Chain A
Amino acid sequence: MATNTIAPDKEKLLDWYHQIVLIRQFENACDDLYKQKRITGVYLHLYSGLEATGVGSVAALGKNDNVITAYRDHGIAIARGVDPKLVMAEMMGKRTGTSGGKGGSMHIAERDLNFWGGYAIVAGHLPLAAGIALKEKYVGSENVVLCLMGDGSTNNGYFHESLNLSAVWDLPVVWLIENNLVGMGTRVETSSGQPDLVKRAIAYGMEEGPRVDGQDVIAVHQAVSEAVEYARKHGPILMETLTYRYKGHGVSDKQYDVREGFKEELDEWHHKDPITILANYLKANFGDIQPELDQIQQEADKTVAEAIAFAESSPNPTYEDLISNVYV
């Protein structure tokens, strides 16, 4: 793989910092709102802790490239540029949400941004990614598909069939495993014969991409940018980021924080927090930047507050919404 390291400029880094902080604040708000029963339902999978992977990887795409993910999708939606107001409205099942209140937390999408959505059958979006990539190849475009998936997505048949087909057909897909060490409650080394997940590429004769520090947005961006260029020219590539899920599998997960060793592990990962890592980098390279970071924090808080206000004042879907769009 080609390596042409270009240090991102200050403006870009501050933009990423803003996105990461915004996603963190958004997810914290979702957590609170769920506990207050202002967000309802049984599913709400927070992206807290994984923000650098989402922001760094999505930033590596051009606007005509495509991105698709699993059910832990709020952060990806925001990173791709979906208005947080519309995301929050979808959380609250409002008519103004990205899916009109019919998709919920796990099914955010924005066709106009080539964000093909979050999918809730584990690994069920992988064949869709292959199909979207097939269309790009079929029409002779140079666009690629970034397919994010959790480590838990790597052990059902969809993973095998989709990666194999992408290799056989040379489809332009970056298969990106967000390895947060645990699929629901089961550790990677317990569920995978080969826990070095990126090595699966070898079985498909596919380019084995890197396993990178998923907490460092600069490292993620660099690695995914290279993978995207590889996919554009040559076909599929499998890569992995090592990251961590601060919250439970979903909001209804009551087990995660009583798990043996969890507190120590969480503490260890808090030392590798995406916000801290990026803030430290910014301070080391751009001097006294704290006022700008504080400003970003305030903007993010304001954006989240506005999103909540927008969502809560939005109308509920109607009977007409219930029965519309079953068919074209």
Chain B
Amino acid sequence: MADKNVSMREALRSALMEEMERDESVFVMGEEVGAWQGTHRITAGFLEKFGEKRVRDTPISEMVIAGAAVGAAMAGLRPVAEIMTINFAFLSFDAIVNAAAKVHYMFNGQFKVPLVIRAASGWGNQATATHSHTPEPVFAHFPGLYVGCPSNAHDAKGMLKAAIRDDNPVLFTESIALYPKASPVPDEEYLIPIGKSDVKREGKDVTLVSYARGVEWSLDAAKQLASEGIEAEVVDLRWLRPLDLEPVFESFKRTNHCVVVEESLPHFSFGSEIAAQLQEAAFDYMDAPIKRVSAMDVPLPYAHDIELMALPNAQKVVNAVKEVLK
């Protein structure tokens, strides 16, 4: 069957719908997931199709949305809890970090937490300081939790389905900017295993390491660089936990140059972690310092011009590549 061009929004919606059709214990809960049809319309039509039992509108109560989902998962259901945007997940932080990520370990395996917490993530629409977070690396800090961050529609579908079927808790973030972007998605079912990264473009001169929206900037930058005779390899990590760095090491040993591209902040970041692990694993192959392209180390402002100034983009990636290849 031919692949269809599908938006990431639609791919996520069909992933969730297929899993709910497949398994009665899968249900969704969150703010406005039902009657409103989902803030980001991932659950559009779900209430009509599955009913109130499995499509559960909640109060604006992020602590208990996450915490009750943990309890329901421990008891044997497979909740997919939606936190409207990741900005609100700071209110859920304790339930995610101290409950979801800990109960399996701290009771020595007596309980499993087959839970997915979905949250929209990202910035760029003048949403201002408190609504412009991309804290995926913060959550990826904690053992016991998986963190998935797809970069396109195809990956989003296969990754979400794998997350729902896994017996561990998964924080699954979806870049708001990617929701409308389309890519080819097969008709037949497929899963993308948890903790498997993907080389999105091959190249011999420099390794670009990224995830989620940063992959788009990396690919755009690679296109521009190619027109100038520089071939960039783009590795999409897909999951911040478990982190699959083998393809990065393998690539770096050939290109000897690396730029890490991230949507989030630079301090104690994804980029810091990749740079640290890379120098430990492949120091002898390093021809130049590893460079990071991140958001600027400021809270995000409202005014659009200075907001954009603070954010990464493809041009900044191009500039960073030229610097490391100098």
Binding site for B on A (CB under 8 A): 66, 98-103, 107, 109-111, 116-117, 119, 121, 124, 126-136, 138, 157-158, 161-162, 164-165, 168-169, 321, 324-328
The interface residues of chain B lying within 8 Å CB-to-CB of A98 are 107-108
Judged by a CB distance under 8 angstroms, whether B69 is at the interface is yes
Provide a sorted-by-A list of 20 A–B residue pairs whose CB atoms are within 8 angstroms: A98-B107, A102-B105, A102-B108, A103-B108, A107-B107, A111-B107, A117-B107, A124-B99, A127-B63, A127-B68, A127-B70, A127-B95, A128-B71, A131-B71, A131-B79, A134-B72, A135-B75, A136-B75, A168-B58, A328-B167
Q: Which residue of chain A lies nearest to B54 when distances are taken between CB atoms in the complex?
A: A138
Judged by a CB distance under 8 angstroms, whether B111 is at the interface is yes
Contact A127-B105, Cβ < 8 Å, known A109-B111, A134-B72:
no
Q: Which residue of chain B lies nearest to A156 when distances are taken between CB atoms in the complex?
A: B63
The interface residues of chain A lying within 8 Å CB-to-CB of B71 are 116, 127-135
The interface residues of chain A lying within 8 Å CB-to-CB of B109 are 100, 324-325, 328
17 extra interface residue pairs, beta carbon distance < 8 Å, beyond A109-B107, A109-B110, A116-B74 = A124-B99, A126-B67, A127-B68, A127-B71, A131-B75, A132-B71, A134-B68, A134-B75, A135-B71, A135-B77, A136-B75, A162-B68, A165-B59, A168-B59, A169-B56, A325-B109, A327-B146
Q: Which residue of chain B lies nearest to A169 when distances are taken between CB atoms in the complex?
A: B56
The interface residues of chain A lying within 8 Å CB-to-CB of B72 are 131-132, 134-135, 138
A103 touches B106 (CB 8 A): yes
The interface residues of chain B lying within 8 Å CB-to-CB of A165 are 58-59, 61, 64, 68
CB distance from A199 to the nearest CB of B (A): 21
Q: Is the interface of B mostly helix, strand, loop or mixed?
A: mixed
B68 touches A325 (CB 8 A): no
Instruction: Tell me the complex Cα distance, A101–B27, Å.
Output: 34
Instruction: Tell me the complex Cα distance, A93–B91, Å.
Output: 32
Residues 78-105 of chain B, each 1 if its beta carbon lies under 8 Å from chain A, else 0: 0100000000000100110011000111
The interface residues of chain A lying within 8 Å CB-to-CB of B107 are 98-99, 102-103, 107, 109, 111, 117
Binding site for A on B (CB under 8 A): 27, 53, 56, 58-59, 61, 63-64, 66-77, 79, 91, 94-95, 98-99, 103-112, 143-144, 146, 166-168
A327 touches B27 (CB 8 A): no
B67's contact among A127, A164, A321, by CB below 8 Å, is which?
A: A127
Contact A158-B64, Cβ < 8 Å, known A130-B71, A164-B59:
yes
A327's contact among B59, B67, B94, B104, by CB below 8 Å, is which?
A: B104
A131 touches B106 (CB 8 A): no
B106 touches A107 (CB 8 A): yes
CB distance from B108 to the nearest CB of A (A): 4
B94's contact among A103, A121, A169, by CB below 8 Å, is which?
A: A121
A130's contact among B27, B68, B91, B110, by CB below 8 Å, is which?
A: B68
Instruction: Tell me the complex Cα distance, A126–B143, Å.
Output: 23
Instruction: Tell me the complex Cα distance, A326–B105, Å.
Output: 5
CB distance from A149 to the nearest CB of B (A): 14
The interface residues of chain B lying within 8 Å CB-to-CB of A133 are 71
The interface residues of chain A lying within 8 Å CB-to-CB of B66 are 127
A124 touches B106 (CB 8 A): no
The interface residues of chain A lying within 8 Å CB-to-CB of B64 are 126-127, 130, 158, 161-162, 164-165
Q: Which of B70, B71, B94 has the most CB of A within 10 A?
A: B71
B111 touches A111 (CB 8 A): yes
CB distance from B321 to the nearest CB of A (A): 36
Closest 9 CB pairs of A and B: A131-B71, A127-B67, A135-B75, A128-B71, A100-B108, A161-B64, A131-B68, A131-B72, A161-B61
Contact A326-B68, Cβ < 8 Å, known A109-B110, A124-B95:
no
A128 touches B105 (CB 8 A): no
The interface residues of chain A lying within 8 Å CB-to-CB of B27 are 138
Q: Which residue of chain B lies nearest to A321 when distances are taken between CB atoms in the complex?
A: B108
Q: Which residue of chain A lies nearest to B72 when distances are taken between CB atoms in the complex?
A: A131
Instruction: Tell me the complex Cα distance, A97–B59, Å.
Output: 39
The interface residues of chain B lying within 8 Å CB-to-CB of A131 are 67-75, 79
CB distance from A121 to the nearest CB of B (A): 5
Instruction: Tell me the complex Cα distance, A101–B68, Å.
Output: 27
CB distance from B68 to the nearest CB of A (A): 4
The interface residues of chain B lying within 8 Å CB-to-CB of A127 are 63-64, 66-68, 70-71, 95, 99
Q: Which residue of chain A lies nearest to B103 when distances are taken between CB atoms in the complex?
A: A117
CB distance from B197 to the nearest CB of A (A): 18
B75 touches A111 (CB 8 A): no
CB distance from A130 to the nearest CB of B (A): 4
CB distance from B289 to the nearest CB of A (A): 33
B94 touches A99 (CB 8 A): no
